[in-house]
Homo-oligomer: A and B are copies of this chain.
Amino acid sequence: PSDTHRQRALARQSQLTKPAGSLGELENVAVRLAALQGTDTPNAEQVQIAVFAGDHGVCDEGISLFPQAVTAQMIANFVTGGAAISVMARQLGAALEVINTGTVCAPPLSAGVIDEQVAAGTANLARESAMDAQQLAAALAAGDRSAARALERGCQLFIAGEMGIGNTTSASALACALLAEHPTHLTGPGTGLDRQGVQHKAAIIQQALARHYQQHDDDATPLTCLQSLGGFEIAAITGALIGCAARGIPVLVDGFIVSVAALCAVQLRPALSCWLLFAHRSREPGHQRILDALEATPLLDLGMRLGEGSGAAVAVPLIRSACALHNQMATFADAGVSNADG
């Protein structure tokens, strides 16, 4: 990030024809993006959305309302344009790529899907490590390749999305391990479990954590947590965020699951956090705890809990508005408007 451009952006904001500070968070967004992009005219027109899909062995424990086949079916829905994130990508004029990190079923329609399949879903994290070290490395590398493609395409703002039946279970377990929290604090309904379902899910996560800590004892690191409890798509997103920050691409973080991947990425690379903007507060109850750990205040709070990167996509126009206001508003001097006498 460029401190010179940050200072210049702050100075410009104070000269625009509005009471100082009256655009609230939109001013902060414009100033941050100016510093991250190293420019006087921050811009979020070129948006790259990468949706990472993967299956989860922990579905054997009955922690989701939806059958695992839905992951592959939704991959097809992403590329044929009927999913929420497909609609939003069109609405934004954003590039959308769909990356299969490993599903149990083959997608019914896989043309246009980027094949990064690590395995046919992870192992059941309640009973064994979700992946082995090579699989973890493969998933992280798949994410990094997505960041590399984003750079090639001139991406100004990167969004990672996810799809994977069972992945709130994996994300909650991973967050518990990364934050040393109890599952009851970070387990929620996901796609719509009732109270009993949430209790069962928390118990499965507790079982996974007991196994994980027994295996790693005191030597758990963010990477061992990710390998033991993560999903392929969550590991890939972690790799993508690290890859974006390394390449100087600002990231707009979606909801619960992407935030857990961001937490893992920040624990691995603390300097990365300045590259992250946060789009929305998910209705998934554990999200606030993750946001607190990341010292993040998201732009939106609309009760969304869909995933796919949809919450981030919905926030993109706010960032574009912040840029347009910063770049196009007249100054007091330009417009011949008197400034405050206070």
A300-342 to B contact mask, C-beta < 8 Å, 1/0: 1111111000100110011011001100111000111111111
Report if A304-B24 is in contact (Cβ < 8 Å); known contacts: A337-B70, A341-B65.
Answer: yes
CB distance from A40 to the nearest CB of B (A): 16
Q: Which residues of B contact A73 (CB under 8 A)?
A: 335-338
Residues of chain B with a CB closer than 8 A to A80's CB: 330, 335
A83 to B325, alpha carbons, bound, how many Å?
Answer: 9
Given contacts A18-B306, A19-B305, contact A87 B325 (CB under 8 A): yes
Most-contacted residue by chain B among A22, A23, A66, A341 (CB, 10 A): A22
Contact partner of A341 (CB less than 8 A), chosen from B66, B300, B304, is B66
Task: For A284, give the chain B residue with the smallest CB separation.
Answer: B22
Q: Is A294 an interface residue (CB 8 A)?
A: no
Bound together, the chains give a CA A305 to CA B23 distance in angstroms of 7
Q: Which of B77, B90, B197 contacts A335 (CB 8 A)?
A: B77
Given known A-B contacts A65-B341, A67-B338, A23 and B304 have beta carbons under 8 A apart = yes
Interface residues of A in 124-148 (CB under 8 A from B): none
Interface-located stretch among A177-185, A187-195, A209-217, A266-274 = A187-195
For the complex, what is the distance from the CA of A340 to the CA of B189, rounded to whole Å? 13
Q: How far is the CA of A25 from the CA of B283 in the complex (A)?
A: 11
Known A-B contacts A66-B338, A300-B300, A325-B88; A77 and B17 likewise in contact (beta carbons under 8 Å) = yes
- In the complex, the answer to whether B301 meets A70 with C-beta atoms within 8 Å is no
Chain B residues in 8 Å Cβ range of A283 = 24
Q: Is the interface of A mostly helix, strand, loop or mixed?
A: loop
Q: A residues 1-25 with Cβ under 8 Å of B?
A: 16-25
**Cα distance A76–B332 in the bound complex, in angstroms:** 12
Q: Is the CB of A191 within 8 A of B340?
A: yes
Q: Which of B66, B197, B324, B330 contacts A77 (CB 8 A)?
A: B330
Is A154's beta carbon under 8 Å from chain B? no
Find chain B residues with CB under 8 A from A338 CB.
66-67, 69-70, 73
Q: What are 21 A-B contacts defined by CB distance under 8 Å?
A: A17-B77, A18-B306, A22-B192, A23-B84, A23-B304, A26-B314, A65-B340, A65-B341, A66-B340, A67-B341, A69-B338, A73-B337, A76-B336, A81-B328, A83-B330, A87-B324, A87-B328, A193-B342, A194-B342, A300-B318, A317-B317
